[in-house]
Amino acid sequence: MENINILFICSRNQWRSPTGEQIWRRQAGVNARSAGTSPKAKRTVNMKDIQWADIIFVMENKHKQRLMAEFTQLLAHKTVHILDIPDEYQYMDSELVDILTHSVSAYLKTA
């Protein structure tokens, strides 16, 4: 079976999405990347990221809205899941790790 490509998106690619990437990049059968929607993000999401991803996880609805506005055509056949994780965690915060591990696992079991 082929690896699944997972893209994690938050605003500034500082805390939440890099944590998702760090957790899931260690899992067998998973390739993970992270990016942000803000022009001030450490790594701003681009067309190649969207094309690469099999599944996209965004932290908040506003991230999905921004992706849909910028990459409408590319997202036509992509799955985008909103995790509803507020911007109140630091990188690798234990609670954030637990939330991301459980919520993403649930989606991957149904994928």
pLDDT per position as a tens digit, 25-46? 989 999 999 999 999 999 999 9
Say how far apart CA 21 and CA 16 lie, in whole Å: 9
* Residue 108, SS3 per DSSP: helix
CA–CA distance, 35 with 108 (Å, rounded to integer): 20
pLDDT at 101: 96
pTM score, whole prediction: 0.95
> DSSP letters of 37-59?
SSTTSSSB--HHHHHH-SEEEES
Residue 111 has pLDDT above 80, yes or no: no
Q: Is residue 50 within 8 Å of 74, Cβ to Cβ?
A: yes
Q: How confident is the model at residue 50 (pLDDT cuts 50, 70, 90)?
A: very high
